[in-house]
């Protein structure tokens, strides 16, 4: 229960029409902790393994982090459903997610 609001937690309304913004995942930062998957009300994310072809584009630090975490990262499975509520951005401990206008 939210102490500031005895009725419960405040629900943050989504800010944009579906498909007008999309999440962008910084592959060099994402560690696949799946907080974005858990908080997204539109099921935009899923946890998956970064494909081999995408690993070569990572920085050295990104490659080390990827290897250490078994190449698990957040994947966009339903980006067109994003309404820009920002919950994924707030939940990501690596600050690996931004929103971009389409």
The pTM of this model reads: 0.82
Dump pLDDT digits (tens) for 54-65: 999 999 999 999
CA distance to 11, 38, 69, 72, per residue, from 55 (Å): 37, 25, 13, 11
Q: Are residues 41 and 9 in contact, defined by beta-carbon separation less than 8 angstroms?
A: no
Decide which of 65 and 16 is more confident. Answer: 65
Dump pLDDT digits (tens) for 22-36: 999 999 999 999 999
Domain spanning 21-101, CATH architecture: 2-Layer Sandwich (3.30)
Please give the sequence-ordered ranges of beta strands (E in DSSP) within 18-63, or none if there are none. Answer: 21-25, 45-49
The whole-number pLDDT of residue 102 equals 86
**Coil, helix or strand at residue 91:** helix
The whole-number pLDDT of residue 6 equals 55
> Residue 20's pLDDT band (boundaries 50, 70, 90)?
confident
**Coil, helix or strand at residue 72:** strand
């Amino acid at each position: 229960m939210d102490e500031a609001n005895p009725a419960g937690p405040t629900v943050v309304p989504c800010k944009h029409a579906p498909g007008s913004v999309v999440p962008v995942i910084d592959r060099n930062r994402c560690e696949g902790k799946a907080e974005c998957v858990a908080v997204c009300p539109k099921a935009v994310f899923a946890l998956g393994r970064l494909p081999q072809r995408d690993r070569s584009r990572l920085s050295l630090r990104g490659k080390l982090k990827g290897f250490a975490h078994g190449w698990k990262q957040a994947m966009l499975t339903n980006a067109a459903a994003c309404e820009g509520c920002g919950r994924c951005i707030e939940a990501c401990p690596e600050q690996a997610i931004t929103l971009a206008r389409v």
